[in-house]
Chain A
Amino acid sequence: MSEGIEEDFEESRLVRPYALTGGRTRPSEGDLPLEALVYPTGDAPSKAVRGVAIERHKILDLCTSELLSVAEISAKLSLPIGVIRVLVSDLIGEGVVKASATRAQTIASSTDIRLLESVLNGIASL
């Protein structure tokens, strides 16, 4: 019995965040890499007031105060990655924020020898 209660709790804890996205689990435009940095375009405040979800404002506040990735925003707001992806993609679509990299760019960079060499030298210098 106690197991059932735990499961229900677990489910509501997860379902609520997805209510923020209108049930969507995929973002409107391409997948955002976990490590993509999200930053305000400067158009942010006037446009963001149209948003209903308080979480949209929290995202905006966070990435205005500090340069953060999709994963960091998820951790700091305690919301699953998938939810943050949807909300950030909406904000990108509205021109409120930008992401530093697309999925295609990160795929290309992972085999870019010059970039890998910079990473190697960078780690060696730590």
Chain B
Amino acid sequence: MASLRSDNMVAPPSGTAASTAPPTTVKIVIAGGFAVGKTTFVSSISDITPLTTEAAMTSKSIGVDNAGQVSDRKMTTTVAMDFGRIALPGNLWLYLFGTPGQDRFSFMWDDLIVGSIGAVVLVDTSRFDDCFGAVDYFEQHRLPFIVAVNCFDGKAFHDTQEIRQALNVPGDTPVVYTDARSREATKQTLLTLVRHSMKRASEASVAT
């Protein structure tokens, strides 16, 4: 048995894995409607080219088929999710997960919000309703979030007060402008979220 080991043993790769403590990982959710700029936002700051993965949800749906028979078939929905990764000083890795903002995808958010620092809800002001589901969901689940208006070509068609009213977000929720293509704007947006999450965390620790 011992002879098996010597041949097949792989030394821990140096600089990765077992040779040093693995980085502490944290994550932030980037939610928003189709084509609002989630992938662009993640790419503008990620160390890696954003990757795409899929989550599948299977549910049973009872229906009546063409022949009038009651059918019981499985419905499967998949949602693609883009994500990126940023190495931060102090052996920290920050993951950014971009996910569609419609509430029919909320099965994926149940997973994403676990242990998440918070969420950035990206908004295109010409299509507000795309993000209502995400705003409601994060509020209900008490995940700290901010609203970031992606200003396509530097244009904002509404001021932040109008946006706040349209989305009916709580008074202390930051509503900011961003530019998904700009690394600096993305960075400032993430900083706003983390500050908001810190505020919420310190309020919670005082309250308990």
- A→B interface (CB under 8 Å): 10-11, 14, 25, 31, 33-37, 39-42, 44-46, 63-67, 69, 71-72, 74-76, 80-82, 100-101, 103, 105-107, 109-113, 115-126
Q: Which residue of B lies closest to A75 (CB)?
A: B51
Q: Given A110-B117, A125-B89, are A14 and B95 neighbors across the interface (CB < 8 Å)?
A: no
Q: A14-B78, A75-B51, A122-B88 are in contact. List 8 more A-B contacts (CB 8 A).
A: A10-B76, A80-B78, A106-B115, A112-B201, A113-B202, A119-B117, A120-B191, A122-B94
Q: Given A46-B8, A82-B55, A118-B88, are A33 and B13 neighbors across the interface (CB < 8 Å)?
A: no
Q: Which residue of B lies closest to A15 (CB)?
A: B76
Residues of A within 8 A of B4 (CB): 46
B51 touches which of A39, A64, A76, A106 (Cβ 8 Å)? A76
Interface of A is mostly: helix
Q: A78 CA to B58 CA in the complex, in Å?
A: 18
Report which residue of A41, A63, A111 has the largest number of chain B beta carbons within 10 angstroms of its beta carbon.
A111
Contacting pair A64 B13 (CB below 8 A): yes
Residues of B within 8 A of A107 (CB): 114-115
* B96, chain A: closest CB distance, angstroms: 10
* B180, chain A: closest CB distance, angstroms: 16
- B→A interface (CB under 8 Å): 4-5, 8-10, 12-13, 16-18, 22-27, 45, 51-56, 58, 74, 76, 78, 81, 83, 85-86, 88-90, 92-95, 97, 111-112, 114-117, 183, 187, 190-191, 194-195, 197-198, 200-202, 204-205
Q: A41 CA to B5 CA in the complex, in Å?
A: 13
Q: A14 CA to B77 CA in the complex, in Å?
A: 10
The 3 closest A-B pairs by CB, nearest first: A106-B115, A122-B88, A45-B8
Q: Given A34-B95, A111-B204, are A74 and B53 neighbors across the interface (CB < 8 Å)?
A: yes
Contacting pair B10 A69 (CB below 8 A): no
Residues of A within 8 A of B204 (CB): 111
Q: A76 CA to B48 CA in the complex, in Å?
A: 13
Residues of A within 8 A of B78 (CB): 10, 14, 80
Q: A36 CA to B26 CA in the complex, in Å?
A: 9
Contacting pair A110 B74 (CB below 8 A): no
Contacting pair B10 A81 (CB below 8 A): no
Contacting pair A123 B194 (CB below 8 A): yes
Q: Which residue of A lies closest to B12 (CB)?
A: A42
Residues of B within 8 A of A25 (CB): 58
Contacting pair A75 B52 (CB below 8 A): yes
* B2, chain A: closest CB distance, angstroms: 10
* B148, chain A: closest CB distance, angstroms: 14
